[in-house]
């Protein structure tokens, strides 16, 4: 009987840890860091399993810490929204103090682990956590510009992998940052669109105009175009060691047109369903783009 209770308790704790760190989101973010790392390795900076594993664990701690701090700060707001009211803190399964301790420990462990790779990786991790928790999160109920601020920490993981591999932040890491930076806007605005009513309950308005209107949809299209342009920069030969072949560029361009098609569909239909579809396409886009970049590098 005690064994059953202990097992149940362990499962509950593990489940709450997954929720407080948003494991699904954290793992998808880690994919970007792994992609950046693989793009950064070369003869001068060879692939090392220890470095990659440290990046994965440290990166998860970084993202998990940001998410845990976020849920402590937004505990009252989360109780108002259907999608967040069952999270560990707002539901009462975990106290804010426990969540704060977890977030603090993850911050220390994450930054320490990334520091063992190099100092720049640790610095960017610290900047990411600070921007996400201290600026982006409080701004969410104040202005839709919070999405712009949130795009900075959101764009760090891709280039963090490159910095972990090379120890340098240059044009290559900057280009990876730029790609994921522009990607944030159509991705999060599509989320803000189909979850508009739920966010409104908590006084959060993510859309640039504050409304599900043509101007918002037009901005989604414009930022998708900027994303496509940024994604094609490596084929021009001006981004240092980050380069893609013309064949890869064609694939990246086709992926961009695929996403642009659904951005235009959102402009035409302006429905929750079209926004959700764009969100799903955007997730697939960034993952497929990173896969194309990696395959192209190792096949050349």
Same-domain pairing of 208 and 226: yes
119 and 181 share one domain: no
Count CA within 13 A, CB hemisphere, residue 40: 29
For residue 51 the two structure tokens come to 């470095």
Q: Domain end: 112, 138, 167, which one?
A: 167
| pTM of structure | 0.92
Judge whether residue 5 has pLDDT over 60: no
Backbone angles phi, psi at 133, to 5 degrees: -90, -35
Q: For the domain that residue 53 is a member of, what is the CATH number? A: 1.10.357.140
Give how many domains the chain has, as a whole number.
2
Domain region containing 39: 1-167
Res 2 pLDDT > 90: no
Question: How confident is the model over 152-163, as pLDDT tens digits?
Answer: 999 999 999 999
Per-residue pLDDT, 7: 46
Residues 157 and 197 in one domain: no
The verdict on 27 and 152 lying in the same domain is yes
Which residue among 145, 167, 189 closes a domain? Answer: 167
Separation between Cα atoms, residue 227 and residue 185, nearest integer Å = 9
| Alpha carbons 56 and 51: distance in angstroms, whole number | 9
Statement to judge: residues 159 and 190 lie in one domain:
no
Secondary structure tally for the chain: helices H, strands E? 13, 0
Q: Which of 167, 199, 216 is the last residue in one of the domains?
A: 167
Q: Residue 147 and residue 129: Cα distance in Å, rounded?
A: 15
Mean pLDDT along residues 6-26: 80
One domain for residues 51 and 182: no
Digit-coded pLDDT (tens) for 64-91: 999 999 999 999 898 988 888 889 998 8
pLDDT, tens digit, 9 for 90 and up, residues 171-220: 999 999 999 999 999 999 999 999 999 999 888 889 999 999 999 999 99
115 and 183: one domain? Answer: no
According to the model, what pLDDT value does residue 4 have?
A: 43
In whole angstroms, what is the distance from residue 179 CA to residue 206 CA?
21
| Cα gap 253→127, rounded to integer Å | 32
pLDDT above 70 covers a percentage of the chain that reads: 97
Higher pLDDT, 171 or 23: 171
């Amino acid at each position: 009987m005690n064994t059953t209770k202990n097992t149940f308790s362990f499962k509950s704790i593990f489940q709450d840890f997954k929720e407080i760190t948003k494991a699904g989101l954290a793992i998808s973010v880690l994919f970007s860091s792994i992609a950046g790392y693989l793009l950064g390795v070369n003869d001068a900076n060879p692939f090392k399993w220890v470095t990659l594993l440290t990046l994965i664990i440290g990166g998860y701690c970084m993202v998990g810490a940001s998410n845990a701090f976020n849920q402590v700060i937004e505990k009252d707001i989360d109780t108002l929204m259907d999608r967040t009211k069952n999270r560990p803190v707002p539901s009462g399964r975990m106290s804010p103090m426990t969540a704060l301790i977890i977030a603090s420990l993850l911050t220390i462990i994450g930054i320490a682990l990334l520091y063992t790779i190099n100092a720049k990786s640790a610095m960017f991790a610290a900047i990411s956590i600070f921007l996400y928790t201290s600026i982006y999160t409080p701004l969410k109920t104040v202005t839709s510009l919070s999405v712009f601020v949130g795009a900075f920490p959101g764009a760090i993981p891709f280039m963090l992998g490159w910095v972990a591999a090379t120890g340098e932040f240059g044009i290559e890491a900057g280009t990876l940052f730029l790609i994921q930076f522009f990607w944030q806007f159509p991705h999060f605005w599509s989320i803000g669109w189909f979850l508009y009513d739920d966010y409104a309950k908590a006084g959060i308005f993510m859309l640039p105009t504050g409304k599900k209107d043509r101007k918002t949809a037009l901005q989604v299209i414009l930022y998708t175009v900027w994303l496509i342009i940024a994604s094609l920069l490596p084929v021009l030969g001006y981004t240092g060691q980050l380069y893609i072949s013309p064949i890869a560029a064609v694939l990246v361009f086709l992926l961009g047109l695929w996403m642009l098609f659904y951005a235009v569909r959102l402009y035409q239909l302006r429905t929750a369903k079209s926004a959700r579809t764009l969100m799903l396409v955007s997730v697939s886009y960034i993952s497929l783009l990173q896969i194309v970049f990696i395959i192209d590098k190792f096949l050349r």
